[in-house]
Amino acid sequence: MARLPRLGWPGGDEPLIAEVAGHLGGSGPAILGAPLVLTTPRRNLRPFLPIPFAMYAMDTWGVLFSRLPISLPRGIPLTRPPWPEYGLLLAEAAASRSEDPWHRVGAVVLRPDHSVAGVGYNGAPAGIEIDWADKEERLPLVIHAEINALRWATPDEVRGGLLISTRQPCPQCLTSIAAYQLATVFFRDRADDTTALAQRLGLAMHAI
């Protein structure tokens, strides 16, 4: 299949390339029957889309960018993830800040309108030094990611919202989550099974 020329702007170092498949699927037409190749400078990933090609009538204009299968290097999809997965991405970023070599955990609290109310990771209380090499000694000293995320929120603003964590919340964290009247908990990694407790506290809990 023929390719359009690479499109980009002058300068920039080591362009990143995103290929947009020509076929949009469904009743959408192809764009000149060929994939479009975009280049962007590595330090600026904002889309740059000159339009040197013809664009035909479509069912709705909004379907164009919602259905283009664009992918970036390293397998990062340029799509809108569902809210739980969006929250998990934020929680994973928070987890990267944790000093705990045994479990690096991140959590995020989303309000009912899905705006971010709080983000946290597991770590030491302010002013307290922890010997992270001692797996057991560190346990009673660590503030869990869920608690650190909740401390930025108030029960009124997050009532009915979501908490997303990279690890299944422990019983103490679930109790605090219920106290904030959150509706649903999502987690990535399984730990001790707290499903029955979540149900008892009126929380819906799901693995992602």
The 10s digit of each residue's pLDDT in 155-169 is 999 999 999 999 999
User: Which run of H or of E encompasses 80?
Assistant: none
Catalytic entry in 14, 19, 85, 146:
146
Domain with CATH 3.40.140.10 in the chain: 83-207
What pLDDT does residue 74 have? 64
What architecture is the 83-207 domain classified under in CATH? 3-Layer(aba) Sandwich (3.40)
Whole-model pTM over 0.85? no
* Residues facing residue 207 across a β-bridge: 187
**13-62: per-residue pLDDT in tens?**
344 333 333 333 444 433 334 444 444 444 444 444 444 333 333 333 34
Q: Which two tokens mark 186?
A: 């999502």
Q: Average of pLDDT values for 72-93?
A: 84
Task: Say whether 146 is catalytic.
Answer: yes
The CA R_g of the chain, rounded to the nearest whole Å, is: 22
Whole-number Cα distances in Å, 195 to 95, 165, 172, 185, 191: 23, 15, 13, 11, 11
What pLDDT does residue 44 have? 43
Q: 190-199 contacts: CB < 8 A, separation 24 or more? A: 191/167, 192/168, 193/168, 194/168, 194/169, 194/170, 197/171, 198/174
What pLDDT does residue 80 have? 87
